[in-house]
Amino acid sequence: MPKVRFDDEEVEVPAGITLLDAALDNGIALDHNCGGNCACSSCHVIIIEGMENLSEMRDDEEDMLDTAVGLTLQSRLACQSQVKGDVRVTIPPKPAI
C-alpha cells in the first residue's frame, strides 16, 4: 500500500484514494469546504516528494488551483489527487483573516 506523509504523520492508504480521503480517514485535519467537488481551493496541499505518484492534473483542478492562497509549482488540490505511490505532502498554514 502506498505511504502518504502529511507533515509529521505517515499513513498507509489504498491505491486510488484521494489525498483528501487519505487525510480524513486517518484523522488528519484538512479543509474541504466544497466537500471534495473541485469547487473551492481549501484543500490545497503542496507536494514535497512524489508528484509522479499522483494522478494527472485535469483542467478543472488547474483552474480552481489558481485561486489557492500561496500557490506553488508543487501545489495540488487534495480532493482531485489520487494516490498511486508514496507521496510526501505539506498542508500550508491558513492565512490569518
Query: Which amino acid, 34?
Result: C
Q: Could you tell me if 13 and 19 are in contact, meaning their C-beta atoms sit under 8 angstroms apart?
A: no
Residues 75-94: x/- map of binding to ligand FES (CB under 6 A)? --x-x---------------
Our finding on whether 40 is near ligand FES (CB under 6 A) is yes
- Helix and strand element counts for the chain (H, E): 2, 5
Of 24 and 51, CB closest to ligand FES: 24
Distance of CA 58 to the CA centre of its chain: 14
Our finding on whether 38 is near ligand FES (CB under 6 A) is yes
Range in contact with ligand FES (rule: CB under 6 A) among 9-17, 38-46, 48-56, 67-75: 38-46
Query: Which amino acid, 80?
Result: Q
- Residue numbers at the binding site for ligand FES (CB under 6 A): 32-34, 36, 38-43, 64, 77, 79
